[in-house]
C-alpha cells in the first residue's frame, strides 16, 4: 500500500509504458479492495481515482497505435495487415485482453474536462468511481449546456404547473425556460429577489448547495419554491435544505429532453412553502429518532 501513496496525477500522465501504467492500476485495485474490507471508504475512493487515472493513461498510450481509431478486437479481425500490429503487441506484452484494451480506449477518448468533472462530482456526492460511471456521465454530459443544467421534461413541468401555477423560472436559459418571467445566467438568479410561486431546476454539481439555500431562504421570506433536484439524502445540502419540506420522489430515472440517455441519478421534487407544516421523521445510524 505504501508504494501507491506517492503516485500523483502528473506522474501518471507522464507514463509512456503500458506495463508500468497497468502495474499502477493493479496496485490501486488491490488497495481499493483492501480499504473496502476495512470499511475505509475515503481511502478506497482515493484508490479508485488513481485506478481510473491509470486506466485513462493506458488508453491514451493505446490510442495512437490503433489503425484509424479501431478497437483492438476490430483491428485483429482485419485481413489486410501483415503480421501483428503495434497495438496487438502492446496488449500481448502487458497481458491485456482486446476487450479491456477497447474499454480503456473509450476512457481515453473522454475529454479531460469531462473526466475531471466526473471525478469532482463523484467526490462531492461521495459516489463510487467506476469506468461505467465515467462513461455514463460523459455520455449524458454532451446533452447539457456549458453550465451543467438538465432541461426539465415538459410532462413533469406541466403536471406541477397545473397544480402550482408558476410565476417565475428562477434558473433558466432563454431556449429552455418554462415561464414567461425568468432569470438567465446573465440576470444571476441568486442575486434576484424571489417572489410568488417559483420553479427551479438548478445547476447540478457543486453549485446546487447555494441554489437550495436561496430557495429555502426565499420560502422563509414568503415565496413558494418548487425544486427539481437529484434525490441525494446522503449529502449535506439535502439535509440542510430539503428535509423540512414536502418531498415527492420520482420512480425510475428521468429521460432528459432531446437525449436518448436517462439521468444517471434518481430525482425528486422538493416543495418549499412559507410556514412549512410538513413533519419529517428520520433516524441516525445509532437509531435515535428526530422529528421536525
| pLDDT per position as a tens digit, 69-78 | 555 555 555 5
Q: Are residues 88 and 162 in the same domain?
A: no
Task: Answer with the one of 78, 113, 141 that is the final residue of a domain.
Answer: 141
Q: What domain count does the chain have? A: 2
Nearest partner of 150 among 159, 160, 142, 161, judged by Cα: 142
Q: Confirm whether 261 is domain-assigned.
A: yes
Q: Are residues 287 and 201 in the same domain?
A: yes
Task: Answer with the one of 92, 118, 141 that is the final residue of a domain.
Answer: 141
Q: Confirm whether 147 is domain-assigned.
A: no
Q: What is the pLDDT of residue 2?
A: 42
Q: Are residues 270 and 159 in the same domain?
A: yes
Give me the half-sphere count of Cα atoms (radius 13 Å) on the Cβ side of residue 31: 22
Q: Are residues 161 and 287 in the same domain?
A: yes
d(CA 166, CA 186): 21
Q: Kindly report the average pLDDT of the chain as a whole number.
A: 79
User: What percent helix, strand, coil does the chain show, rounded to 5?
Assistant: 45, 10, 40
Nearest partner of 56 among 84, 24, 94, 87, judged by Cα: 24
Which position has the higher pLDDT, 56 or 2? 56
Q: Are residues 40 and 117 in the same domain?
A: yes
Task: Answer with the one of 82, 113, 141 that is the final residue of a domain.
Answer: 141
Q: Are residues 97 and 213 in the same domain?
A: no
CATH number of residue 202's parent domain: 3.40.50
pLDDT in tens, 71-101: 555 555 554 444 456 777 777 777 888 778 8
Q: What is the pLDDT of residue 120?
A: 87
Q: What is the pLDDT of residue 252?
A: 84
When mean pLDDT is compared across 46-50, 145-149, 274-278, the lowest value belongs to: 145-149
**H/E segment holding residue 235:** none
Q: Confirm whether 253 is domain-assigned.
A: yes
Question: Positive or negative CA dihedral for 33, 37, 40, 42?
Answer: positive
Nearest partner of 166 among 113, 228, 116, 245, judged by Cα: 228
- Percent of the chain exceeding pLDDT 70 equals 77
When mean pLDDT is compared across 81-95, 154-168, 173-187, the lowest value belongs to: 81-95
Q: Are residues 18 and 115 in the same domain?
A: yes
Q: Confirm whether 62 is domain-assigned.
A: yes
pLDDT over threshold 70, residue 130: yes
Query: What's the domain range around 26?
Result: 9-141
Q: Are residues 111 and 168 in the same domain?
A: no
Summarize the confidence of residues 55-82 as an average pLDDT: 64
d(CA 228, CA 204): 10
**Residues contacting 120, CB < 8 A, separation 6+:** 205, 206
Q: Confirm whether 45 is domain-assigned.
A: yes
Q: Are residues 86 and 176 in the same domain?
A: no
pLDDT in tens, 96-122: 887 788 888 889 988 888 899 889 888
Q: Are residues 28 and 56 in the same domain?
A: yes
d(CA 18, CA 73): 18
Q: Are residues 160 and 207 in the same domain?
A: yes
Q: Are residues 229 and 120 in the same domain?
A: no
Q: Confirm whether 148 is domain-assigned.
A: no
> In whole angstroms, how large is the CA radius of gyration of the chain?
23
- What is the value of pTM for the model shown? 0.52
Amino acid at each position: 500500500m505504501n508504494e501507491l501513496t506517492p503516485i500523483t496525477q502528473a506522474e501518471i500522465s507522464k507514463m509512456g509504458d503500458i506495463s508500468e501504467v497497468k502495474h499502477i492500476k493493479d496496485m490501486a485495485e488491490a488497495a481499493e479492495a483492501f480499504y473496502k474490507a476495512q470499511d475505509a471508504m475515503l481511502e478506497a475512493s482515493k484508490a479508485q481515482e488513481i485506478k481510473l487515472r491509470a486506466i485513462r493513461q493506458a488508453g491514451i498510450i493505446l490510442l495512437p497505435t490503433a489503425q484509424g481509431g479501431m478497437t483492438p478486437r476490430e483491428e485483429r479481425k482485419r485481413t489486410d495487415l501483415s503480421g501483428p500490429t503495434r497495438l496487438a503487441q502492446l496488449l500481448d506484452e502487458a497481458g491485456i485482453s482486446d476487450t479491456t484494451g477497447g474499454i480503456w480506449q473509450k476512457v481515453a477518448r473522454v475529454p479531460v474536462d469531462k473526466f475531471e468533472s466526473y471525478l469532482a462530482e463523484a467526490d462531492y456526492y461521495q459516489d463510487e468511481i467506476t469506468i461505467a460511471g465515467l462513461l455514463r456521465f460523459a455520455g449524458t454530459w454532451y446533452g447539457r449546456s456549458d453550465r451543467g443544467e438538465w432541461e426539465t421534461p415538459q410532462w413533469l413541468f406541466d403536471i406541477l404547473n397545473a397544480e402550482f401555477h408558476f410565476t417565475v423560472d428562477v434558473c433558466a436559459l432563454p431556449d429552455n425556460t418554462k415561464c414567461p418571467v425568468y432569470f438567465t445566467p446573465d440576470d444571476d438568479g441568486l442575486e434576484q429577489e424571489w417572489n410568488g410561486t417559483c420553479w427551479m431546476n438548478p445547476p447540478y454539481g457543486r453549485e446546487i448547495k447555494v441554489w437550495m439555500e436561496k430557495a429555502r431562504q426565499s420560502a422563509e421570506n414568503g415565496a413558494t419554491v418548487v425544486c427539481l433536484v437529484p434525490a441525494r439524502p446522503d449529502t449535506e445540502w439535502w439535509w440542510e435544505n430539503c428535509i423540512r419540506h414536502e418531498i415527492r420522489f420520482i420512480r425510475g430515472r428521468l429521460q432528459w429532453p432531446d437525449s436518448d440517455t436517462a439521468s444517471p441519478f434518481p430525482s425528486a421534487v422538493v416543495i418549499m412553502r412559507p410556514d412549512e407544516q410538513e413533519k419529517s421523521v428520520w433516524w441516525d445510524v445509532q437509531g435515535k429518532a428526530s422529528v421536525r
